[in-house]
A and B are shown apart, each in its own frame.
Chain A
């Protein structure tokens, strides 16, 4: 098995090609698989860069996407791109596209088949298609809220509106992360790269297979051999009951408040009897809800923020685990969720986000390594970038302590599905399925590929 990581911190096409050419000249094997992870700085030239890579490796299978940053033993950057070149038959790429979550990922699951030891699943958690579609979301929201939700007299009627709205969201924009993982085959550990950029723009997140943009679809990179999949979250263990988990959240997070939520599917109608954005504005005086034009302008210029230090922690009816949904001041009356809310209690917890122990808590991922001489591919929650700034380099220092050869990605909070969890994670929101909108990290240790 040959594995090599090549990266370039440059953003312009000419500089990228110059740098990559010199690095490719030292390559001593023909890769069978190319995993390409680009950062936002390459956005303008990324199609040309992919064309160049296609001309360089025309017969090599390729998969990739945009991430926030990456790290190798030599350096870490939030710009340029990183390529993982693999020469082995123990890795393959599959992809699928369908009308909704179930169709896309059931199709992908049957494509994958069985016999794999780990799967890296790349898909857009929230897809921002284009200006026209963004306007459609806005006007749909007005229609569903003003003409249907507000006129509903009972909670049951409201839930019916939310169910319809939720179905619309799922068919065009959102792949609810827990539903995606549920649709995937049992038995093989699945690492989910549920993409949602820190600062979104139209046409993001972007995912590629064989040098082509696949739009709103799912890609599975499957590994076979001596491979170990590891998950970690920075939170304390969950409780054994709703009350216990609430107590744990109260102790861990600041500004905690119990709230009642009207929700269904992936839509929230109200928090404590008012619209979620009004609730956020009431709690955090500094937040003023943006208007439609300001929101569209942010999406056009790539400054549409998708992270927030305030959110609602939902508690699972199945495991008493918890996942937080960040609240942002955008002009949407019915608030969308990135995960299916049906498995959660209607009573939730409003909180301000923080990570106890700071950046050190993310380093514990590497302590869970079981192979000493493996190539390690890890994904760290991208919330660490705005949260820790320059200090995120400490994560790379932690990695160097335990890993000899690695490639790290800073990307959306990864999810995980496996029967082999080492402790009762707070993020285990369904049996053997972990997801949280922040504080998670995953790693694939590759000792040998078949």
Chain B
């Protein structure tokens, strides 16, 4: 299944703005990590995320948060709940407008949901 998920996220991994795509399990363990450049900065970000992830996940799943966003100097990290046990985290440069990327991330989340056969809860994503 991870291979299939890796294929699904591929179009956004190739995005010029995207630096990292990580699929997290509810306990904060990364299941799939796609990193463009492996450097110290990225390691620091991953370390920071590891420290934050559990509390963030708590808010996503218990307070119906639709999306969580961290903003560093020129980088933004967004986390999107996919199911009750999976969260997709994307790290992207905010030099370019991200609205198209966000629309595509929703497509990716939908396709992963289909794969894991998760039905989206309306209260979690209501307009």
Query: Residues on A close to B: CB < 8 A?
Result: 9-12, 15, 40-41, 68-69, 75-80, 199, 303, 358-360, 385-386, 389-394
Contact = CB atoms under 8 A, between A and B. Distances in A.
B104 A78 contact: yes
Given A75-B107, A199-B97, A390 B102 contact: yes
B127 A359 contact: yes
B103 A76 contact: yes
Nearest to A74: B111
B127 A391 contact: yes
A233 B28 CA distance: 46
Nearest to A40: B100
Contacts of A389: 99, 102-103
Contacts of A79: 11-12, 15, 100, 104
Nearest to A386: B99
A68 B100 contact: yes
A392 B103 contact: yes
- Top 5 closest A-B pairs, CB basis? A78-B100, A9-B11, A390-B106, A389-B102, A386-B99
B14 A385 contact: no
Nearest to B98: A389
A9 B99 contact: no
Given A68-B100, A79-B100, A389-B99, A11 B14 contact: yes
B120 to A, nearest CB: 11
Contacts of B96: 303
Contacts of B107: 9, 75-77, 393
A385 B111 CA distance: 20
A390 B100 CA distance: 8
Contacts of B101: 78
B32 interface: no
Interface in B49-101: 96-97, 99-101
Contacts of B103: 69, 76, 78, 385, 389-390, 392-393
Given A385-B99, A393-B103, 14 more contacts: A10-B14, A12-B14, A41-B15, A78-B100, A79-B11, A79-B15, A79-B104, A385-B100, A389-B99, A389-B103, A390-B103, A390-B105, A393-B110, A394-B127
Given A77-B11, A358-B127, A394-B127, A9 B104 contact: yes
A80 B111 CA distance: 16
Nearest to A39: B100
B34 to A, nearest CB: 14
17 contacts: A9-B104, A9-B107, A11-B11, A12-B14, A15-B10, A40-B100, A69-B103, A77-B104, A78-B100, A79-B100, A303-B96, A385-B100, A385-B103, A389-B99, A390-B105, A393-B106, A393-B110
Chain B at the A interface: mostly helix, strand, loop or mixed?
A: helix
A8 B103 CA distance: 16
A80 B100 CA distance: 12
Contacts of B99: 385-386, 389
Contacts of B106: 390, 393
B102 A80 contact: no
Contacts of A391: 127
A266 B13 CA distance: 43
B10 A10 contact: yes
Interface string B18-62: 000000000000000000000000000000000000000000000
Nearest to A410: B103
Contacts of B97: 199, 303, 386
A69 B14 contact: no
Nearest to A75: B107
A391 B102 CA distance: 9
Contacts of A359: 127
A385 B106 CA distance: 13
Contacts of B11: 9-11, 77, 79-80
A393 B101 CA distance: 13
A332 B10 CA distance: 42
Nearest to B67: A390
A199 B98 CA distance: 12
B121 to A, nearest CB: 15
Nearest to A387: B99
A68 B105 CA distance: 15
A69 B110 CA distance: 17
Contacts of A385: 99-100, 103
A392 B111 CA distance: 16
Contacts of A80: 11
Contacts of A15: 10, 14
A120 to B, nearest CB: 24
Nearest to A385: B99
B13 to A, nearest CB: 10
A146 to B, nearest CB: 34
Contacts of A68: 100
Contacts of A10: 10-11, 14
A394 B106 CA distance: 11
B4 to A, nearest CB: 15
A389 B69 CA distance: 15
A156 to B, nearest CB: 43
Contacts of B100: 40, 68-69, 78-79, 385
Contacts of B110: 75, 393
A441 B100 CA distance: 19
B97 to A, nearest CB: 7
